[in-house]
Structure 1
Amino acid sequence: MKKSNVVICGTGSCVPDHIITNDELEKSAPTNKEWVESVLGIRERRRLKKEENPSDMAAKAALRALDNAKTSPEEIDLLIVGTITPDRKVPSQGTIIQRKIGARNAVAFDINAACAGFIFSLVCAKQFLDNGYYKNALVIGVDAMSVMTDYKDRTCVFYGDASGAVVVKKLESENGIISTYFGSDGESKDLVTTYGGSAEYPVSYDVVDKRLQYLIMRGKEVGTTAIRIIPYALRKAMEEAAITSDDLTYLVPHQPNETLLKRCSEILNIPEEKIVITLDRYGNASNANIPLALDEINRQGKLKDGDKIGMVTIGAGWTWGSAVIQWGQ
């Protein structure tokens, strides 16, 4: 007899049409194309047009996930969005997307856990479905990092705009979300942050003059922490799932840079060919990284029933999260 599990039934993603190359960024910021491509592994990234909002691409990703799951928007009763770049501070991004896709029967809200928000949202949705409170959930990861990126600063090469979504349901199945793990540590709140536009630093001429409205990142400290936390978080989820790295068909990770991911793969003893990479084309799209990559391999027909997929991420704060999924319905 099959068990009752929370299953990913559909995936979707959307990226803007506008491409920003390393050649372009060399003209505005103190960066080097060769270094960006050889060390970071990023060739280009996407950027929303001025007339576009993050909710626009999130809605497209959501509708594609719903279509892939053969589910109507009206069947969704829970909608959670992981984001750090909502259209507005009020109302929530979830309610804006809810209206755009016609998910009128859903309760909708956001989770801000920096780049780990999608995994936090997925864990939250799983709890609601496991306890029977809701039946069909739509989990979205979306960020327009361009709105908080200083294109005069060398860190601009890392970030891009994208969205991804999954539909999750409680089904009688051997497949589904086998394990999850997440955590946080607020001791390092200043290593990756945006000061301007908050209660601590309200919008003012001084804030704008000092460019405090843009994302600040201390790259060396971030890299050191990520190399420590990413393997740790994935191992916690694998331990709960009672599997080893050898059992994973794919690793779908956060997308900070290629060198860092290769180092993590060495620590975890996971062959590089098992790691799903999207950063070469899209950069670090924060909350969109994992659902975007998952949708890519799903639509490429690379996923087979029973495949085990590891997902892991780290975000500012620090926040981190991981999951192990057995693919199929």
Structure 2
Amino acid sequence: MRSTDLEAPVSLIDVASYLPGEPVDTEYFTQYSRSDRMAKNVMFRSPKGRHHAGRDETAVDMAERAIAPLVERHGTDLVSDIDVLITHTQLPDNPVLGAGPEIARRLGLRPKYVFDVHNGGCAAFVHMMFTARMILRTTEARTAMVVAVQNSAGAVFTQPDIRKLAQAPVPGDGCGVGLLVKNDSAPILDIECRTYPEFAGDMDFSTNGERKYWEPGEGQACVSFTESKVTKVFARGNRLVPEVALAVCDRIGVKGRDIDTFVTNQPNRLFLRNWHDALELPAERHPDTFDRCGNLFAAGIPVTLDVTNRAGGLRNGSVVLMSAFAHAGDFAAAAAVRWGAAHA
């Protein structure tokens, strides 16, 4: 029987995360660094630490380890009955395949809906919540799991030519997951997703030469920006994250300064400061995992939620606002939830 209710409440009932290996100190990179004026740019000021996935640790390995606490807290029955599985992987282990089916196989799941998404970038966790909520509201599905894997720091940014660059120490690896259920126990209050096609293509992924990344030859592939593009991306990020966040606040009838907890992606310290200032929030209401984990890209929001929740920093019944922008600004998203996730 098909059950559809476009206004049905959908709740984020739990989050969990995984950080691979031992923390990697910034000194690992400074021994290789070269004089680079880009290193002085605020976009590339290094965190104190970060984690790197092992060479043979796959995205599915990381997802399985992040999901383990959800299985412990909710039991194998709930998790094995997941109807919707949505994943985002920063660096797919196999460029042809998404991680979803292999995660399902590992965990013994048989979800009816499996999607591997990519365009959400650093805002992918909110993007996946939006997609999951839409599926839960328009089908008979009742449970969903969303998985954000950031695994490019150890694989890409430690390459011999790349680890010398200003941006190399900034990313870290990690995985964050969320469990959604069609009920009103911890409801998603509102979600805003916006695509900005005019900014697509402003982020480069190249080998610093003529070689395509899949072709044999010299050159190591990495994301890169010209100095002029860094300036543009910084201005966009300063604007987009508060913009979508305040749009959600307006619709749920809450002022930005009255939000209990604001959780964003974690690209650098200056963005974090500017974002909570824009919402007129004190820093203590904007949890920060940057110095511990670096820039976790799409995993930044769920990992920060989990770290803060396990520390007792998220009160049940409070309003938690999430917001992020992706890539060079071609996507941004925000979501507000009435917090009710389980504590570890």
Count of matched residue positions in the alignment of Structure 1 and Structure 2: 319
Give 1:24 deviation, angstroms. Answer: 1.1
| RMSD of aligned residue pairs (Cα, Å) | 2.5
Q: Distance in 1 between matches of 2:41 and 2:105?
A: 39
Q: Distance in 1 between matches of 2:19 and 2:25?
A: 15
Q: Report Cα offsets for 1:57-94 as digits up to 9, x if no partner.
A: 11111232343344533210110012221221232111
- 2:116 aligned to which of 110, 114, 120: 110
Alignment check: 8 A CA contact 1:22 1:36 kept: no
- Secondary structure, aligned partner of 2:9: strand
Partner of 1:54: 59
Seq. identity, %: 23
Partner of 2:223: 215
Q: Report Cα offsets for 1:182-233 as digits up to 9, x if no partner.
A: 111232334323246xxx9352235xx243x211134332212100111111
- Residues 71 and 221 of structure 1: is their aligned pair in 2 closer, same or farther, counting only changes over 3 Å? farther
Partner of 1:43: 48
Moved more, 70-79 or 118-127: 70-79
Partner of 2:28: 24
Alignment check: 8 A CA contact 1:36 1:42 kept: no
- Residues 53 and 254 of structure 1: is their aligned pair in 2 closer, same or farther, counting only changes over 3 Å? same
Please state if 1:241 is matched with 2:252.
yes
In structure 2, list runs of 5 or more residues that go unmatched: 1-6
- Secondary structure, aligned partner of 2:54: coil
Partner of 2:3: none
Q: Report Cα offsets for 1:158-177 as digits up to 9, x if no partner.
A: 1010001010001144x410
- 2:72 aligned to which of 56, 67, 73: 67
Partner of 2:4: none
Alignment check: 8 A CA contact 2:15 2:306 kept: yes
Give 1:31 deviation, angstroms. Answer: 6.9
Give 1:269 deviation, angstroms. Answer: 0.8
Give 1:107 deviation, angstroms. Answer: 2.8
Q: Distance in 2 between matches of 1:64 and 1:85?
A: 24
Q: Distance in 1 between matches of 2:193 and 2:172?
A: 24
Q: Distance in 2 between matches of 1:18 and 1:187?
A: 40
- Residues 180 and 31 of structure 1: is their aligned pair in 2 closer, same or farther, counting only changes over 3 Å? farther
Q: Distance in 1 between matches of 2:247 and 2:256?
A: 12
Alignment check: 8 A CA contact 2:126 2:334 kept: yes
- Residues 40 and 308 of structure 1: is their aligned pair in 2 closer, same or farther, counting only changes over 3 Å? farther
Please state if 1:321 is matched with 2:333.
yes
- Residues 259 and 172 of structure 1: is their aligned pair in 2 closer, same or farther, counting only changes over 3 Å? closer
- 2:293 aligned to which of 282, 295, 309: 282
Alignment check: 8 A CA contact 2:26 2:46 kept: no
Give 1:279 deviation, angstroms. Answer: 1.0
Please state if 1:130 is matched with 2:137.
yes
TM-score by length of 1: 0.89
TM-score by length of 2: 0.85
> Superposition pairs for residues 1-329 of structure 1, below 5 Å?
4-30=8-34, 40=45, 42-70=47-75, 72=77, 73-113=79-119, 114-146=121-153, 147-149=155-157, 150-173=162-185, 175-195=186-206, 201=212, 203-206=214-217, 209-211=218-220, 213-218=221-226, 219-316=230-327, 318-328=330-340
- Residues 62 and 202 of structure 1: is their aligned pair in 2 closer, same or farther, counting only changes over 3 Å? same
Alignment check: 8 A CA contact 2:104 2:111 kept: no
